[in-house]
């Protein structure tokens, strides 16, 4: 699955567009660099995706090629690439509550959600106690301000989406999620009971991939969300990744199909969850 390569590929795609503009105007990289007052290698690094094209660079590039009208669209693309990879320390600088609130507009706009998890129960299906344990761990690990209580309230408010008309959630969990303890045992029993309740919600399709499933074709991957098949979000160790390029989003949706095919649904899901609850007794 793409992580930092997503940014490289996006930069390369932008660089190819800039190269096309240069070539259409009949300029060599050396001549373009001379007109812009740059070292020749800068053009090559931008065109080959090794260097980000900053808005001032794009303005100078298009001006040198007599294509100023193309600058606005190219700059918007470049800013989108910059926003793909946001370090947690930047996203959570003002605390966990603000980080939770930052995704609310996306959740309000989305109608079809896809989520895959091999680590934690996804937010919409979490109990309050499980959420508190998860966010408390994040706060401690990243040395953040203690606004866990307010962040829990914000995340719980997001669960209203489960009962909003027109929204659908397809969620696939690895069976290992059921056994990865977060908080005291009683918290896990409550959380797993919540999963049982979620199976009867009309807006939720819950699948669980058994631990003994054949993973030859589709191994476990990083937890990810897909929103209306237009955007994918991935939580990395150090950062929050947003993928919007259509061909890359398709890689996530294609893998989601493969993961779904590995998962149990219906009655077998209830059996898997009940067995996990028994392990905490």
Please name which of 78, 68, 60, 98 lies closest in space to residue 12, comparing C-alpha atoms. 78
Instruction: Supply the pLDDT for residue 268.
Output: 98
* Backbone dihedral angles phi then psi of residue 185, each to the nearest 5 degrees: -60, -40
Instruction: Supply the pLDDT for residue 6.
Output: 64
Instruction: Supply the pLDDT for residue 4.
Output: 54
Supply the DSSP symbol for 245: -
Q: Which residues pair with 170 in a beta bridge?
A: 114, 205
Spell out the residues 6+ positions from residue 263 whose beta carbon is closer than 8 angstroms to its own. Answer: 172, 173, 207, 208, 209
Contact 115, 171 (CB under 8 A): yes
Determine whether 90 is exposed, middle or buried from the number of CB atoms within 10 Å of its CB (0-12, 13-18, 19+). exposed
Per-residue pLDDT of the chain (281 residues; tens, 9 = 90+): 444 566 777 888 899 999 999 999 999 999 999 999 999 899 999 999 999 899 999 999 999 999 999 999 899 888 777 767 777 777 888 899 988 888 889 999 999 999 999 999 999 999 999 999 999 999 999 999 999 999 999 999 989 999 888 899 999 999 999 999 999 999 999 999 999 999 999 999 999 999 999 999 999 999 999 999 999 999 887 778 888 878 889 999 999 999 999 999 999 999 999 999 999 98
Instruction: Supply the pLDDT for residue 76.
Output: 82
């Amino acid at each position: 699955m793409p992580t930092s390569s997503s940014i490289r590929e996006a930069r390369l795609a932008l660089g190819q567009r800039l190269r096309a503009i240069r070539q259409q105007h009949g300029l060599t990289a050396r001549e373009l660099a001379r007109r812009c007052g740059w070292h020749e290698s800068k053009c090559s690094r931008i065109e080959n995706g090794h260097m980000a094209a900053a808005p001032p660079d794009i303005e100078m590039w298009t001006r040198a090629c007599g294509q100023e009208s193309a600058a606005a669209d190219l700059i918007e693309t470049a800013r989108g690439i910059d926003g793909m990879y946001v370090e947690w320390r930047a996203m959570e600088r003002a605390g966990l509550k603000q980080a939770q609130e930052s995704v609310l507009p996306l959740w309000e706009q989305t109608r079809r959600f896809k989520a895959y998890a091999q680590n934690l129960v996804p937010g919409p299906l979490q109990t309050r106690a499980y959420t508190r344990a998860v966010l408390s761990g994040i706060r401690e690990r990243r040395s953040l301000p203690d606004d866990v209580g307010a962040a829990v309230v914000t995340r719980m408010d997001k669960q209203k989406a489960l009962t909003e008309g027109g929204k659908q959630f397809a969620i696939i969990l690895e069976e290992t999620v059921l056994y990865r303890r977060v908080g005291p045992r009683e918290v896990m029993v409550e959380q797993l009971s919540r999963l049982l309740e979620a199976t009867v919600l009309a807006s939720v399709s819950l699948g669980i991939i058994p631990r003994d499933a054949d993973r030859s074709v589709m191994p476990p991957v990083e937890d990810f969300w897909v929103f209306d098949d237009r955007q994918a979000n991935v939580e990395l160790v150090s950062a929050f990744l947003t993928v919007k390029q259509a061909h890359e989003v398709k890689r996530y949706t294609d893998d989601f199909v493969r993961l779904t095919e590995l998962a149990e649904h219906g009655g077998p899901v209830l059996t898997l969850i009940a067995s996990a609850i028994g392990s905490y007794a």
